[in-house]
Structure 1
Amino acid sequence: MIEASDFKNGMALLTTAVSVITTKGASGAHGFTASAVCSVTDTPPTLLVCMNHASRSHAHFIDNKTLSVNVLGAQHETISNAFASKLGSEERFEQGSWAELATGAPVLEDALVSFDCEIEDIQQVGTHSIFMCRVVAIKQSEQSESLIYFNRAYHHVAQVEIA
């Protein structure tokens, strides 16, 4: 049997984009930092987002039935840390500048890309919920550096122009 600590140590070596996942609706505005986001299919455009059941905002995402995946740029470490901290929802959204697209879920105005989604299905696996999300709107920016997480630390990746 694989120990949870061995699994976590192995997963720390899987380089991932850093995203802030947000929701807004009858249950209020909430968000969290995530690295567990993945494309499922482009027809129809669908993402999956994983969220721990123990998260204090878990029930709000289920109630609101919407979310936005805001992929962070290199300049967004502070925002990532705020949404991963014990700060309250209002304090988290004081970081950055926010707008809305189709669903009303907060979209970070200068994110690399934001995917505005409706949650279509939820699967329970162990300690987490897997949200299957249909993308209803996309907003891209002109940012050129991505914030990634590798070996329990932030790093930056930039596109290199080859002349």
Structure 2
Amino acid sequence: MKTLADIFVHTLKDVYYAENAITKALPNVAKAAKDAKLKQAANDHLAETKDQIEVLKQVFKSIGLKAEGEKCDAIEGLIKETDGLIEEASGTALDAGLLAACQAVEHYEIARYGSLREWAKELGHDEAHTLLSGILDQEKATNNKLTNLAISSINKT
């Protein structure tokens, strides 16, 4: 990668891979969660993530490329960490840990979509910029919902 356009495409492929991996991991989070609101949040985010994958396909199309993923080591690590938590934690620690793991994924996504959005703008990809802005807003809203859930109930002892 030598240009902004190169890193833009690389990161777009990375996040496309990540979103697809997240759709495989979220059902495990929902199944493991004990708190009903946390289960619902995981299921809601699964539906949102599937929609975001469709939007990413539009982003690829808008820049003249076919949607394809490139292995994302970061998301693989976050999912592996979450899987370990599911195996090792119990009681109130499980839901608190799962919520924190979900937020770690959200923070990763917010960072990636924030960069992608600004790069799209700089590269003159107006449609991609608009589409990526929409996903970024969704990720921020999901993170806020998770924070409120943590504060209002999950982190209460």
TM-score when normalising by structure 2: 0.24
More strand, by proportion: 1
Bigger Cα Rg = 2
* TM-score between both structures, scaled by the size of structure 1: 0.24
